[in-house]
Amino acid sequence: MIDETDRRILSMLQQNARVTNAEIARQVEMAPSAVLERVRKLEERGFVREYTARLEPEALDLGLLAFIFVRTKAGTWQANTAEELASFPQIEEVHHVAGEDCFLVKVRVKDTNALGELLRDCIDEIESVAGTRTTVVLNSVKETSRICLEKVECRQRGRAKEVKA
């Protein structure tokens, strides 16, 4: 798997994908060439999927975040439904879920009119979709794409408990 140094490197890359190799080397107390080799190996082994910039949705006039539960018709092939849902640029995430619904979809749009258009003109037009339920986010307390790489301590009724990430 990965060792503690790899975890530290991955954590720094998650926090700031533009961090320099020299800065990583300084923080993990290794030679820059050794860090470069570790990063290359982490990329090759699939631990680093991509480097990206997180944009500010409200600055781009995309202030409405919603989650849509999508139910498909009985006996329909769900992989095709997932691909069709994923094809819409307003849809940020598509998750195949267990339970009453088949998919949980995260969308970001300008406003409720845009959300209505997405539901009516895009999602409801997918032949295999039987219905949707939508939850509009009023306020986000935490939103991240970072993966927890360290041990976590949770407070449980007055005592600390270690939880594996």
Q: What is the pLDDT of residues 44-89, one digit of tens each?
A: 999 999 999 899 999 999 999 999 999 999 877 777 999 999 999 9
DSSP string, the chain: ---HHHHHHHHHHHH-TT--HHHHHHHHTS-HHHHHHHHHHHHHTTS---------TGGGT--EEEEEEEEE-TT--HHHHHHHHHTSTTEEEEEE-SSS-SEEEEEEESSHHHHHHIIIIIITTSTTEEEEEEEE-S--S----PPP-S-EEEEETTEEEEE--
Q: Give the confidence band of 17 by pLDDT, cuts at 50, 70, 90.
A: very high
Q: What is the pLDDT of residues 75-127, one digit of tens each?
A: 777 779 999 999 999 999 999 999 999 999 999 999 999 999 999 999 999 99
Domain 4-44 has CATH 1.10.10.10: yes
Q: Where are the domains of the chain?
A: 4-44, 58-136
Q: Which fold has domain 58-136?
A: Alpha-Beta Plaits (3.30.70)
> Which pTM value belongs to this model?
0.83
